[in-house]
A and B are shown apart, each in its own frame.
Chain A
């Protein structure tokens, strides 16, 4: 039966044991893609959805019309944020491996996405992140110790022990609460942006999903609503090539880039080198400017690579070559920005190593502080009675009665 099947089953270019093969990725030379005005008609800029906007070339030079020409100090700050993201992730990964937290997700190899885009947006713009956007929270002012306390579900946990680790939120920083359900935040971003337009404000919204989640209905709902109402929103697809074990072709990426998903609706798409901080920054500024001027939504596909496992519960050696990241033609975003700064004479290996040591110390100090608010095995503990709060604005009678009954049975966390 199987050998008679004429069905097309998408297959990745390499599985474990195979030589990594990224020949399917179409790359444009750095600096080669034209930069249109933000008022350009979608049909005149369709090329942006299948070419690849790149600023940094293989010799670490910034070139072309998309070069945002940022001050070296600003780039050093960007490098610092990306490094902090990575150092933090490495430490939290270790902590999970030691059994001190239950779960973790790292952004390894994708740090430029959150950091460059956070830099390109204004503080009043609202972010609706995916679970690999911890860099947004960091950049928008969330303290490392607060992120750690969330992962520990301890007494300082902003989620009061209700959410899986990494599902942060910050109202004051304008970064939304992370859901475990994929792509659900996409229509929220569009609705938020519609409200901004209705109120006559110039704040925009931005949201992020992975290549895999573009298959969800919510992705398509969001694009439709964004196009229909010309909502001031940036819709980002972080194409890191892998959705757990299924490669981007399983989500429909084999024949046309994800950036082209909106063209049928008249939404311009930009395919950008997601590991090139300068390019990501530049296209995000372009899309934000377009949205703020009433030009409607932009779909940005950030081509990158998931350098680590999907999460601490995943083992990618079972489904992809171990050395695939090393062969990824767009490299590592941190290394590329570092080399660019060194090339321009604004950074050095010694400064880089020193910065890493500083950041490691900062993360370690935060971890020491975080544990004082409780760990999984040692108090202080959250009050389990708080689980009945915030289901509604005011608890209805039946929740108050359940709270009382729960407390009759479980006096404290140790009494199970």
Chain B
């Protein structure tokens, strides 16, 4: 089985789908000749030509707006927004147009746009290159929101997204593009080569949108998380010697409620972790779902570990990032609560 990092897996997904379907095109800033600032589209313009891998002006609203029109005219556009932090000029087009078109026209018109965008911190990006705005999008009916945590899922979910007739916002946690990250910035970088999810088939396969994955089975508590924090939480639980079950949500909307609640019912304890700010965040939705379905199984209050409710500060990145220490504190809160 080939080894791929997340960038290669994402590129491979687009390559495979573009080979299969001539209507798939890519539109975004620096995606063409240069191959993208994170190299995700490297080589695709050479292979598929400049009419299918199109360098766009710096106008996120224009990129998404034009992609919608292309989708209405039978193409299947992949729009790259260079950083999730830059998606806001396109927000109206996503919320008022892309998400609503099928509904308002009762299915006569739809536009199968996939918006790829790198998110998350841990790369010294400051507040304009580190945000995790997924909850802003999970709140919008009519779009689906996805965030993989490893190369295998990234490729399978991206192929499923591009082939879906629904619009999808596909978040790529850029801290783990090149390797899993356990939250310790002092440690040497680890590559995906040593990780089982770095094994990625060359050809076509999908990971269904709407399914969570048990990243690791455990019995003492459930940690519900996604993106970079899947790896941080696993490392934190290992360091503490806690037998945690790690659930990688990966499809934030639609949500695989059963996998999550089955786990919490089994362990009786639950911690939720995400990098995005806490207040009004996605963890609140998870916590509400869990208390509704698992209330009588819970032996402790559901705990949340998240980014602080501030912008992402450049110089205090590692005090902001929900690293192992904060996750460990969250685990202790849940484990030490009286049964």
Q: Interface on A for B, CB 8 Å cutoff?
A: 126, 128, 158-160, 162-163, 167, 169-171, 176-177, 179, 181, 184, 186-196, 198-199, 205, 217-218, 220-222, 224-225, 228-229, 389-393, 396-398
Contact = CB atoms under 8 A, between A and B. Distances in A.
A393 B67 CA distance: 19
B74 interface: yes
22 contacts: A159-B104, A159-B105, A167-B104, A169-B108, A170-B108, A179-B104, A181-B92, A184-B92, A184-B93, A184-B97, A190-B69, A191-B71, A191-B77, A192-B73, A194-B69, A196-B73, A218-B93, A389-B107, A391-B141, A392-B144, A392-B166, A397-B254
B57 A198 contact: no
B91 to A, nearest CB: 11
A187 B109 contact: no
B96 A181 contact: yes
A244 B62 CA distance: 26
Contacts of A391: 102-103, 141-142
Closest 4 CB pairs of A and B: A191-B69, A187-B65, A221-B62, A191-B66
Contacts of A188: 65-66, 68-69, 72, 97
Contact of A187 (B66, B71, B164, B166): B66
B51 interface: yes
A198 B68 contact: no
B257 to A, nearest CB: 7
B254 A160 contact: no
Nearest to B58: A224
A216 to B, nearest CB: 9
Given A159-B105, A390-B102, A224 B65 contact: no
A191 B104 contact: no
B110 interface: yes
Interface in B65-118: 65-75, 77, 89, 92-93, 96-97, 100-110
B73 A224 contact: no
A63 B107 CA distance: 47
Contacts of B64: 187
Contacts of B70: 191-192, 194-195, 198
Interface in B142-176: 142, 144, 164-166
A191 B68 contact: yes
Interface in B278-326: none
Nearest to B71: A191
B16 interface: no
Given A128-B69, A169-B109, 16 more contacts: A162-B104, A167-B104, A170-B108, A179-B97, A184-B96, A189-B69, A191-B69, A220-B59, A221-B62, A225-B57, A225-B66, A391-B141, A391-B142, A396-B254, A397-B257, A398-B254
Nearest to A180: B96
A156 B115 CA distance: 35
A162 B106 contact: yes
Given A179-B97, A184-B92, A198-B75, A191 B103 contact: no
A176 B25 CA distance: 22
Interface of B: 25, 51-52, 54, 56-57, 59, 61-62, 64-75, 77, 89, 92-93, 96-97, 100-110, 141-142, 144, 164-166, 210, 253-255, 257
Nearest to B59: A221
Given A179-B97, A191-B66, A225-B57, A392 B142 contact: yes
A256 to B, nearest CB: 22
B161 to A, nearest CB: 13
A195 B257 CA distance: 39
B67 A191 contact: yes
A184 to B, nearest CB: 5
B189 to A, nearest CB: 38
A77 B25 CA distance: 42
A158 B254 contact: no
A163 B103 CA distance: 9
Contact of A192 (B69, B103, B144): B69
A324 to B, nearest CB: 33
A389 B106 CA distance: 8
A84 B104 CA distance: 26
B109 A171 contact: yes
B103 A217 contact: no
Contact of A177 (B51, B61, B104): B104
Contacts of A228: 57
B107 A187 contact: no
B62 A222 contact: yes
A391 B166 CA distance: 9
Contacts of A198: 25, 51-52, 70, 75
A85 B99 CA distance: 31
B225 to A, nearest CB: 21
A176 B97 CA distance: 12
B73 A126 contact: yes
A160 B92 contact: no
B74 A199 contact: yes
Nearest to A184: B97
Contacts of B105: 159, 169, 171, 177
B92 A392 contact: no
Nearest to A387: B103
Contact of B106 (A159, A194, A222, A398): A159
Contacts of A393: 102, 110, 164-166
A90 B290 CA distance: 55
Contact of A171 (B104, B108, B142, B210): B108
A340 to B, nearest CB: 37
